[in-house]
Structure 1
Amino acid sequence: MYDVVVVGGGPSGAIAAEDLARSGHKVALLDRAGRIKPCGGAIPPRLIADFDIPDDQLVAKITTARMISPTGRRVDIPIENGFVGMVDREHFDAFLRDRAAKAGAERLTGTWLRIERDDTGTAVIWREKESGEERRALTRLVIGADGARSNVARDEVPGGDRIPYVIAYHEIIEAPGAVGEYDPARCDVVYDGRISPDFYGWVFPHGKSASVGMGSMVKGVDLKKATADLRAASGLADCPTIRREGAPIPLKPLDRWDNGRDVVLSGDAAGVVAPSSGEGIYYAMVGGRVAATAASACLASGRVRDLRLARSLFMREHKTVFRVLGSMQNAYYRSDERRERFVSLCHDIDVQRLTFEAYMNKKLVRARPLAHLRIGLKNLAHLSGLVSPART
């Protein structure tokens, strides 16, 4: 009998399993081996500090972000007094799973099938990868951390099958030398309807490799052709391709993360990916931590309502940021004309400073009211068309 079975061994599930194991709970971490999620791999300083990420997990340190508009306008935003770390999910996720195991979590390698309940309690039914046989793991609680379009969420949590998402695709390529404008210390974000009609494309350095990709909610978009076009536009068409990956990225937190009985969700399964930016690693790990906190509280008290703590703790800190980013995406991603204005707005020094302070620290900066006022007025001017993108 386990206290908790965590389904999914990405950053969210691994952190949940580690936290629970360190708290003295008997935990199983069920994961499918060999899956790598498409991801730009950016992690901010707050993640590195909060989750004790060693420097050897960082494959690159980014000091500049470049925004590229539909007309090719380039706005470089320096990251003052710090850097954004880059990780390769193939190795980063494995590191987190290994750390959870060292903390005491038992590793199970296979595929989640379903939950069964009878007089003996709750059991996770899973198929072991090596033997192909069905196994049964009795448990008091289950954490569903099995990603976007989560099977656990679909089967167990009301509304878990109705979550909006972007389909993301990227190609990991061998990092070039001095090719075109590629810079191993700069992330390029491309806002161009020819690459993505409703999201963005990216070129993110990973040390010896680089992630080049894009995402879209629009059905019928040729993700591979768009990525090939992005590689060509970035001077990266001839770089050898290491691997190709695609997956959904959720865009809105679910209204409910638990089933009121024995299941709570975390990470992509709960929909916690930041709108506008698509950033998910930090929020997934926070989601794993609050799910572990809720599970521990439920196990201690016997009150199933304590499972609600996962969502309430997360939204208490991050709801406002998600709302602001969602409004930004709705306002600026709808057309190339709006995207041109968005990149133009990013040229503003107030926008740059406040945006990156918020990104690095994962909270809205309230210490500069005049800067907020200036940004608000410029934002209104752009959205109303009172100013031309070329003027700012």
Structure 2
Amino acid sequence: MFDVVVVGGGPSGATAAEDLALLGRKVALIDRGGRIKPCGGAIPPRLIRDFRIPQSQLVAKITTARMISPTGRRVDIPIENGFVGMVDREHFDEYLRARAADAGAERLTGTYLRIARDRTGTHVIYRDKQSGEERSLTTKLVIGADGARSNVARTEVPGGDSIPYVIAYHEIIEAPGPRGDYHPDRCDVIYDGRISPDFYGWVFPHGKSASIGMGSFVKEVDLKKATADLRAASGLSDCPTIRREGAPIPLKPLDRWDNGRDVVLAGDAAGVVAPSSGEGIYYAMMGGRVAATAAESKLKTGLIRDLGLARKLFMKEHKSVFKVLGAMQNAYYKSDERRERFVSLCHDIDVQRLTFEAYMNKELVKARPLAHLKIGVKNLAHLTGLVRAEYV
């Protein structure tokens, strides 16, 4: 009998498993093994601090972010008083799983199949990767951390099959030093309808490698061609390709994260990827942490309502940021004309400072009310067309 079975060994599931194991709970962590999620790999300083990530996991430290508009306008945004850490998900995710095992979680490799229930309890059925046999784990609670199109969410939680998502694709390449339009200390974010009609493309350095990719809601978009165009524009077409990956990225948290009985969701399964930016690693790990908190509370008190703590705790801290980012995506990602105005707005020094302070600390900055007022006025002027999309 396990206290908790965690389905999914990405950052969210591994964090939940480690937190519960450190509390002395008997935990199983099931992961399919061998899957690497397409991801730019950016993590903020707050994640490094809150989750005790060693410097050895960082493959690069980014000091500049560059926004590129549909007309080719480039806005370099220096990251003041900090940096963006870059990780390679192939190694980062495995590090987190190994750390959960070191804390006492039992690692199992296999594919989740279903949840069954009888008088003896709740049973997680999975197919063991090595033997191919179906196996069963009896548990008190289940944490579903099995990704954007979560089978746990789809079958166990009301509304769990209706998360809107972007299809993302990227290629990991062998990266040179500074070359053409590429620099190993700078992340490029490309807002251009020819690359993505409703999201963006990216070129993110990973030290000796780089992630180049894009995402879109539009099924007809040729993701591989768009990525090839990004590589060509950056002068990286002839760099050897290490691997290619594609997957859905959810962009709206579910209204409910638990089934009112014995299941709670975490990470992509709960839809906690930031709108507009698509940032997911930090929010996934926070989702794993609050799911573990909810599970521990339910195990202690026996109260079903404690499973709802996961969503309540997460939204208490991050709802405002998600709301602002969602409004920004709805306002600026609709057309190239709007994207042009967005990049133009990014020239403003207050926009740059507040954006990265919020990114690094994961909260809306309230220290400079006059700056917020100035940004609000400029934002309204750009959206209504009262100013031209140009350097401001």
TM-score bracket, normalised by the shorter chain, equals: over 0.9
Deviations 1:71-124 (A, max 9, x none): 000000000111110000000000000000000000011000000000111000
> What residue number does 1:307 align with?
307
Match of 2:369, as an amino acid? Answer: P
> What residue number does 1:177 align with?
177
> What residue number does 2:369 align with?
369
Deviations 1:4-52 (A, max 9, x none): 0000000000000000000000000000110000000000000000000
Match of 1:124, as an amino acid? Answer: V
Q: How does 1:155-234 map to 2 (within 5 A)?
A: 155-234=155-234
Displacement, 1:178? 3.4
Question: Equivalent residue of 1:49, what SS?
Answer: helix
Maintained 8 Å contact 2:178/2:184: no
Q: Distance between the aligned counterparts of 1:391 and 1:67, measured in 2?
A: 13
Q: Distance between the aligned counterparts of 2:143 and 2:178, measured in 1?
A: 46
Match of 1:208, as an amino acid? Answer: K
Match of 2:354, as an amino acid? Answer: L
> What residue number does 2:101 align with?
101
Q: Distance between the aligned counterparts of 1:68 and 1:206, measured in 2?
A: 20
Displacement, 1:179? 1.8
Q: Structure 2: any 5+ residue segments left out of the alignment?
A: none
Deviations 1:326-380 (A, max 9, x none): 0000000000000000000001000000000000000000010000000000000
> What residue number does 1:278 align with?
278
> What residue number does 1:261 align with?
261
> What residue number does 1:137 align with?
137
Matched, 1:90 2:96: no
Match of 2:148, as an amino acid? Answer: A
Identity of aligned residues (%): 84
Q: Distance between the aligned counterparts of 2:68 and 2:375, measured in 1?
A: 20
Return structure 1 stretches of 4+ with deviation > 6 angstroms. none
Displacement, 1:240? 0.6
TM-score of the superposed pair, with normalisation by structure 2: 1.00
Count of aligned pairs: 392
Q: Distance between the aligned counterparts of 1:55 and 1:383, measured in 2?
A: 41
Question: Equivalent residue of 2:390, what SS?
Answer: helix
Q: Distance between the aligned counterparts of 2:276 and 2:14, measured in 1?
A: 26
> What residue number does 1:13 align with?
13
Match of 1:327, as an amino acid? Answer: A
Match of 1:107, as an amino acid? Answer: R
Match of 2:267, as an amino acid? Answer: G
Q: Distance between the aligned counterparts of 1:219 and 1:386, measured in 2?
A: 34
Q: How does 1:312-391 map to 2 (within 5 A)?
A: 312-391=312-391
Displacement, 1:181? 2.0
Displacement, 1:391? 4.5
Question: Equivalent residue of 2:248, what SS?
Answer: strand
Q: Distance between the aligned counterparts of 1:383 and 1:181, measured in 2?
A: 30
Deviations 1:172-219 (A, max 9, x none): 000023320211110000000000000000000000000000000012
Question: Equivalent residue of 1:389, what SS?
Answer: coil
Q: Distance between the aligned counterparts of 1:370 and 1:18, measured in 2?
A: 43
Q: Distance between the aligned counterparts of 2:351 and 2:318, measured in 1?
A: 20
Matched, 1:251 2:251: yes
Match of 2:52, as an amino acid? Answer: D
Q: Distance between the aligned counterparts of 2:107 and 2:326, measured in 1?
A: 37
> Once structures 1 and 2 are overlaid, which stretch shifts more, 253-262 or 169-178?
169-178
Q: Structure 1: any 5+ residue segments left out of the alignment?
A: none
Match of 2:109, as an amino acid? Answer: T
Match of 1:140, as an amino acid? Answer: K
Match of 1:38, as an amino acid? Answer: P
Match of 1:153, as an amino acid? Answer: A
